[in-house]
Structure 1
Amino acid sequence: MQLTQHTDFGLRLLVVLARDGGSISLPTFSAQQGLSYHHVAKVAQALVSAGFAVSRRGRSGGIALARPAAQITVGEVVRTLEKGMRLADCATCALRTDCALSGVLAEALEAFLAVLDRYTLAAVSREGVPAFAPWAMLPQPISCAISEAS
């Protein structure tokens, strides 16, 4: 499964906001990441509309998290930014009335999202964890953290 560029940029922006704990200007973020400002502005608008971020005007303005990073799951963000997420276009397939594959793909998508739901933005924005780190290096899923705290 591959996420759209829109979702990728949105997750990157949220990770940076979670790490900094403050706000960042969109031109600064765009330059740091080597991304198109116009695309980043569109992503930021979607994050604000969805309630993940707030926009602040003025010289010291920018974009900031609307709620604590520990209260935002990666799955929630992906579901919001990936409109009409599906693994295959079964609606236009000639086999749609005689094929069990669509059910298998729907189950796989739910499993994918269930994993993303286990991790908060705070957990995945930890610094010092390299990209594609082995599973053991990743932060504990929130379900494990909740059961340990009980």
Structure 2
Amino acid sequence: MAVGAEEMAQALLAAAQGPDPARMRAVCDAYLASWREGDPDARAALFSADVVVEDPVGSPALVGLDAVRAFWRQAEGNGYAFDPRLDLFIACGPEVLMRFEMVMERRGEPALVLTIHEVVVFDAACRIRALRAFFSPAQMRLASAR
């Protein structure tokens, strides 16, 4: 008997083991909220100590939470307020693909928007153990421009 596409997809997804997708979504939501609230301590609590981050992909990997926190200090030290707006979340096994628009505002300047795709890998405790950010500065636009 032939297996339908829906049954095949369900079987493949059932075989992909990982943390609960709802927990991964909650971690991703908290990650984005920490940028919005300017709270690097809350953000750091979501990551494993041995995390590896490529932001953006192709740049040297940041290994360990201390290196990642230094990167965040640099990003947050330029006077911008960040407002990430999630518009795609796909969980598969222990990984997530999310796409969001990062709205960046600095006093006296027009707001900028950058579309970012991130692949996030979770450990068994549902902490982020790897993050790869895909974006291009060429995609940056003024918030009012579509």
- Same fold, TM-score > 0.5, yes or no: no
Q: Which has the higher helix share?
A: 1
TM-score of the two chains, using structure 1 as the length reference: 0.25
Q: Which has the higher strand share?
A: 2
